């Protein structure tokens, strides 16, 4: 089979890339070794956050995403019609709190730095925070409001992006693992192999989430994307008691840490279905899928510091997934400078749902030579901060 582009992975990032490329008129094939939208993109929470990002390239990408999602959600709704489930986009805003005296100053300083970088953020007096979130622990020591934080339903969003890509001509091949690359005499990647297909394409995009390192390896390239485990608790349905994304300031430290050991921080939000999602943990333990009581207890304990009422709320289930982690905490978006024809759209760690749409737009622009929506340099595989983690030129 021949196409202009093959995308490895039908999670939210692969779906967004497929849509963006297919809408430029390219023929696109998406290959997934499992079912579409069933891996990491079905194991997260759906936060579209600017609040947790320090000034720099990832915040720039998140600010762009925060402008882009309302447009994207409206386009998908128009295109797919009322019969397709809604992506549940809601710009509900985020409230970040400190629960200790020592945490109050750093929280406000962080917010000031973000405001200078264009984030809509304001300090809240304790009384105002309690007015916005009446069930919040009154003992909080500081609170900050972020107007741009939003939420979507990640599985529906992935399916909607794939449906839109299909309408633009993309084909999706489920249950086919990509196992090798096709190369021409110069070494340029010209397609991929699966057990049953040979797919020729000038552009191959690896969007294989936490398995991107392994997928790149199968294609003869090395890429330092590793799994970072995360676990979420889900409560029974209730009358709405949590109105924003509410989390404790510890979360910044956990997202930016390179520490492999268990870290937990509290992120609490309600869903349109009436459940409350309580996240989350971060741990580098390979692809170990077991749920750990120690982790569940640590997440629950921290959530009670934010919302004491949760103590008597039943937890109906817990689930976990693997964030696609990169050692310099930035997604990898662009062509591999060592392997022409091989592209990456991966490594978004805990922000891949929020950043998928703009990642697709960036890939679409870079592949076709159009004006990119933001400076692509900080995300390229050749960036200096990733160099130390890559094998020498040409080696796999
Ligand atoms: C607990 C938790 C909470 C999270 N919360 C949020 C959040 O609130 N907001 C947010 O933005 N992000 C969140 N994330 C992160 C987010 O879920 C990920 O960044 C995102 O889903 C990554 O999407 P993806 O398309 O890159 O990967 P995936 O969804 O994993 O898709 C990759 C696909 O590639 C396929 N694949 C792998 N290898 C091959 C191969 N060799 N051949 C063919 N196919 C292959 C897999 O089968 C899979 O379907 C969370 C993650 C976790 C674990």
CATH number of the domain encompassing residue 42: 3.50.50.60
| Strand order from edge to edge, sheet including 28-31 | 171-173, 28-31, 5-8, 203-206, 342-346, 332-335
In a domain, residue 83? The reply is no
What gap in Å lies between CA 367 and CA 179, rounded to an integer? 23
Considering the domain architecture, whether residues 250 and 140 belong to the same structural domain is answered as yes
User: 260 versus 346: which is more confidently predicted?
Assistant: 346
Considering the domain architecture, whether residues 131 and 238 belong to the same structural domain is answered as yes
Percent of the chain past pLDDT 90, that is, above it, reads 88
The set of residues, in sequence order, having a beta carbon less than 8 Å from that of 42 and lying 6+ positions away, is 154, 155, 158, 321
Considering the domain architecture, whether residues 187 and 168 belong to the same structural domain is answered as yes
pLDDT at 394 over 50: no
239 C-alpha vs ligand 1 centroid, how far in Å?
Answer: 31
Considering the domain architecture, whether residues 231 and 321 belong to the same structural domain is answered as yes
* Per-residue model confidence (pLDDT) at position 47: 94
**Mean pLDDT, residues 3-25:** 98
Q: Find out whether the beta carbon of 61 lies less than 6 Å from any atom of ligand 1.
A: no
142 C-alpha vs ligand 1 centroid, how far in Å?
Answer: 33
In a domain, residue 395? The reply is no
Q: Going by CA atoms, what residue is nearest to atom 35 of ligand 1?
A: 9
Domain count, the chain: 2
In a domain, residue 85? The reply is no
What gap in Å lies between CA 344 and CA 379, rounded to an integer? 10
Domain boundary among 273, 292, 325: 325
In a domain, residue 382? The reply is yes
40 C-alpha vs ligand 1 centroid, how far in Å?
Answer: 3
Q: Going by CA atoms, what residue is nearest to atom 4 of ligand 1?
A: 44
CATH number of the domain encompassing residue 288: 3.30.9.10
**pTM of structure:** 0.96
Considering the domain architecture, whether residues 320 and 332 belong to the same structural domain is answered as no
**Mean pLDDT, residues 245-270:** 76
pLDDT at 252 over 80: no
Considering the domain architecture, whether residues 278 and 352 belong to the same structural domain is answered as no
Considering the domain architecture, whether residues 119 and 240 belong to the same structural domain is answered as yes
Domain ranges, residue 60: 2-65+154-225+328-387
Considering the domain architecture, whether residues 187 and 172 belong to the same structural domain is answered as yes
Instruction: Render pLDDT for 109-156 as a digit per residue (tens, 0 to 9).
Output: 999 999 999 999 999 999 999 999 999 999 999 999 999 999 999 999
**Mean pLDDT, residues 263-275:** 90
Domain boundary among 310, 325, 340: 325
Picking from 222, 171, 164, the residue whose alpha carbon sits closest to that of residue 356 is: 164
Q: Find out whether the beta carbon of 159 lies less than 6 Å from any atom of ligand 1.
A: no
Cα three-residue angle 96-317-135, rounded to 5 degrees: 35
pLDDT at 254 over 70: no
In a domain, residue 88? The reply is no
Instruction: Render pLDDT for 346-371 as a digit per residue (tens, 0 to 9).
Output: 999 999 999 999 999 999 999 999 99
* Per-residue model confidence (pLDDT) at position 249: 84
Considering the domain architecture, whether residues 39 and 24 belong to the same structural domain is answered as yes
**Mean pLDDT, residues 64-87:** 97
Considering the domain architecture, whether residues 122 and 143 belong to the same structural domain is answered as yes
In a domain, residue 393? The reply is no
Considering the domain architecture, whether residues 45 and 162 belong to the same structural domain is answered as yes
Instruction: Render pLDDT for 143-172 as a digit per residue (tens, 0 to 9).
Output: 999 999 999 999 999 999 999 999 999 999
pLDDT at 226 over 80: yes
In a domain, residue 237? The reply is yes
* Per-residue model confidence (pLDDT) at position 256: 56
162 C-alpha vs ligand 1 centroid, how far in Å?
Answer: 15
Considering the domain architecture, whether residues 239 and 112 belong to the same structural domain is answered as yes
Q: Find out whether the beta carbon of 353 lies less than 6 Å from any atom of ligand 1.
A: yes
User: 233 versus 258: which is more confidently predicted?
Assistant: 233
Q: Which two tokens stand for residue 12?
A: 């939210």
348, 354, 359: residue to mutate for ligand 1 pocket, most atoms within 8 A of CB: 348
Q: Find out whether the beta carbon of 13 lies less than 6 Å from any atom of ligand 1.
A: yes
């Amino acid at each position: 089979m021949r196409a202009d582009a093959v995308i490895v992975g039908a999670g939210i990032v692969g779906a967004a890339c497929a849509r963006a490329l297919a809408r430029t008129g390219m023929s696109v094939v998406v290959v997934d070794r499992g079912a579409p939208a069933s891996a990491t993109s079905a194991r997260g929470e759906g936060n579209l956050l600017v609040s947790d990002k320090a000034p720099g390239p990832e915040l720039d990408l998140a600010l762009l995403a925060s402008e882009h999602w309302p447009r994207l959600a409206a386009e998908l709704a128009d295109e797919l019609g009322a019969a397709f489930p809604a992506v549940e986009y809601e710009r509900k805003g985020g409230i970040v709190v400190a629960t200790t005296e020592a945490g109050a100053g750093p929280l406000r300083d962080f917010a000031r730095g973000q405001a200078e970088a264009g984030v809509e953020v304001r300090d809240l007096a304790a009384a105002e925070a309690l007015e916005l979130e009446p069930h919040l622990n009154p003992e909080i020591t500081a609170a900050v409001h972020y107007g741009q934080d939003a939420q979507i339903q990640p599985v529906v969003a992935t399916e909607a992006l794939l449906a839109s890509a299909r309408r633009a001509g993309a084909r999706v091949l489920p249950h086919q693992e990509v196992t090798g690359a096709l190369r021409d005499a110069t070494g340029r990647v010209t397609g991929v192999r699966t057990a049953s297909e040979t797919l020729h394409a000038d552009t191959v995009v690896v969007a294989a989430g936490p398995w991107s390192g392994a997928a790149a390896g199968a294609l003869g390239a090395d890429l330092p994307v590793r799994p970072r485990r995360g676990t979420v608790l889900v409560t029974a349905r209730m009358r709405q008691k949590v109105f924003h994304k509410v989390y404790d300031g510890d979360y910044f430290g956990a997202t930016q840490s390179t520490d492999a050991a268990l870290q937990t921080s509290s992120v609490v939000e309600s869903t349109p279905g009436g459940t409350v999602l309580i996240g989350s943990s971060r741990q580098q333990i390979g692809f170990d899928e077991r749920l750990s009581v120690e982790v569940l207890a640590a997440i629950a304990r921290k959530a009670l510091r934010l919302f004491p009422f949760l103590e008597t709320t039943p937890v109906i289930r817990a689930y976990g997934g693997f964030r696609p982690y990169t050692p310099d905490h930035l997604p990898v978006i662009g062509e591999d400078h060592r392997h022409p024809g091989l592209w990456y759209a991966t490594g978004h760690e805990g922000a891949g749902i929020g950043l998928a749409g703009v990642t697709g737009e960036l890939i679409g622009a870079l592949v076709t030579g159009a004006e990119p929506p933001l400076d692509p340099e900080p995300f390229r595989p050749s960036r200096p901060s990733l160099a130390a983690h890559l094998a020498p030129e040409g080696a796999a």
